Amino acid sequence: MTIQLIRVGIIGCGNIGADHIDRVAHQISGARVTALFDVATERVQELAAQVGAAAMATASEVITSPDVDAIIIASPGQFHAALTIECIAAGKPVLCEKPLAPSVEECEAVLAAEQAAGRRLVQVGFMRRNDVGYRHMKANLNAGHIGDALILHCEHRNPDVPDSFTSEMSMTDSVVHEIDTSRWLLDEEIVRVRVIAGKQSPLAAKHLNDPQLVIMETQSGVIISVEVFVNARYGYDVRCEIVGSNGVTSLGAQDLGQFVSNTQRNVTMPANWRVRFSDAYRAEIQDWINGIQAGEPRGASAFDGLAATVVANAAVQAVKTGETVEIPVLEKPAFYA
Ligand code: NAP
């Protein structure tokens, strides 16, 4: 059997788009980059020349090109839903970076389009599902090694953020990853969220609540705590631990190496998310390509994208009001079972 080489078009070639170009071109098998689009025309031409792809004049040209079998969307979030729906209309698989869309209504429009098309075409870029540490945690929980999950502790620390970063973005850009991993690890929905801003870091911008503590609860009553601290300065540090009725499972060490000298042990840690999750991104893209070749994507679905947006938006409301926000449980269409 000959396995089809997947020709990938990429829309949005900034931070993560440029990384994905390199991954598809050089780090995975079974695919190549054939077309790119970004509003930054000079950069996109440079990137296209590096990988032998065509720089297109519009996103639609990428989507409808006969030289493109599948699309990665890595433009800013407000463009995701419309572009994803265009990919569905063209009958092409699409990996849409998170968020699927900033609003619930736009996410719902994507789900409606995909269901009308009659087959799964959409995957959302929640790459932590491909991280070896998180996969071990899920396997340990599913194997019954720690009994019933009772509490999930998460920490999400970035060294710093640009001045434009807001308290709400801590929810939609950062905690959204914990929202997805919590749903995926525990296999249940989040029904309640509260956000506490206590003593603030003197190193954070005045308009930003930092750190914040997010407390969520699932349908069965599992409590999820997420410390989000985007001015932690010392490095990029993501931690996760499930406390079970009969044990604990957690992410292993994420050190990049160490040296010992003069009675001190010095450990190098990731400087940012790119370094920490580079293997997970690579595995995500490889798995996406493998899924397309096998007939269907198998990562986070459009429904997972919708659920993450619902909870992230509730967390934003919790930031604004200081109240506990109740989250209606979404009915999962049989299409996404
Ligand atoms: P970025 O560096 O700003 O890149 C976005 C690129 O898209 C920029 O080159 C931007 O050009 C371009 N662009 C703007 N409008 C466009 C349009 N209408 N059509 C096509 N391209 C357009 O942002 P980023 O950090 O790469 O983030 C992109 C997306 O990926 C966001 O949704 C973000 O949440 C997501 N992301 C996900 C992860 C993850 O862990 N899964 C990590 C990082 C980012 P200009 O700069 O000229 O506007």
**pLDDT value of position 160:** 97
309-332 mean pLDDT: 97
Instruction: Please give the model's pTM, rounded to 2 decimal places.
Output: 0.96
Q: Ligand 1 centroid vs 73 CA: distance in angstroms?
A: 9
pLDDT confidence band for 276 (50 / 70 / 90): very high
Q: Ligand 1 centroid vs 101 CA: distance in angstroms?
A: 13
pLDDT confidence band for 318 (50 / 70 / 90): very high
**pLDDT value of position 2:** 64
pLDDT confidence band for 254 (50 / 70 / 90): confident
Atom 34 (ligand 1) nearest CA = 98
pLDDT(330) > 70: yes
136-142 mean pLDDT: 98
**pLDDT value of position 1:** 54
Ligand 1 atom having least distance to the Cα of 125? 41
Ligand 1 atom having least distance to the Cα of 16? 26
Q: Compare 97 and 252 and report the one with higher pLDDT.
A: 97
Atom 24 (ligand 1) nearest CA = 15
User: Which H, E and C letters describe the chain, residue by residue?
Assistant: CCCCCEEEEEECCCHHHHHHHHHHHHHCCCEEEEEEECCCHHHHHHHHHHHCCEECCCHHHHHHCCCCCEEEECCCHHHHHHHHHHHHHCCCCEEECCCCCCCHHHHHHHHHHHHHHCCCCEEECCHHHHCHHHHHHHHHHHCCCCCCEEEEEEEEECCCCCCCCCHHHHHHHHHHHHHHHHHHHHCCCEEEEEEECCCCCCCCCCCCCCCEEEEEEECCCCEEEEEEECCCCCCCEEEEEEEECCEEEECCCCCCEEEEECCEEEEECCCCHHHHCHHHHHHHHHHHHHHHHHCCCCCCCHHHHHHHHHHHHHHHHHHHHCCCEECCCCCCCHHHC
**pLDDT value of position 112:** 98
Q: Ligand 1 centroid vs 97 CA: distance in angstroms?
A: 9
**pLDDT value of position 264:** 95
| pLDDT above 90 as % of the chain | 96
Q: Ligand 1 centroid vs 11 CA: distance in angstroms?
A: 9
For all residues of the chain together, what is the average pLDDT?
Answer: 97
Q: Ligand 1 centroid vs 100 CA: distance in angstroms?
A: 13
276-300 mean pLDDT: 96
Q: Ligand 1 centroid vs 59 CA: distance in angstroms?
A: 13
Atom 3 (ligand 1) nearest CA = 14
Pocket lined around ligand 1, Cβ cut-off 6 Å: 11-17, 37-40, 59, 74-77, 79, 97-98, 125, 127, 173, 273
Q: Ligand 1 centroid vs 76 CA: distance in angstroms?
A: 4
- Summarize pLDDT for 158-212 with one digit per residue, the tens: 999 999 999 999 999 999 999 999 999 999 999 999 999 999 999 999 999 999 9
**pLDDT value of position 282:** 98
- Summarize pLDDT for 53-105 with one digit per residue, the tens: 999 999 999 999 999 999 999 999 999 999 999 999 999 999 999 999 999 99
- Pocket test of ligand 1: the residue of 39, 78, 168 to mutate, having most ligand atoms within 8 Å of its CB, is 39
Ligand 1 atom having least distance to the Cα of 43? 9
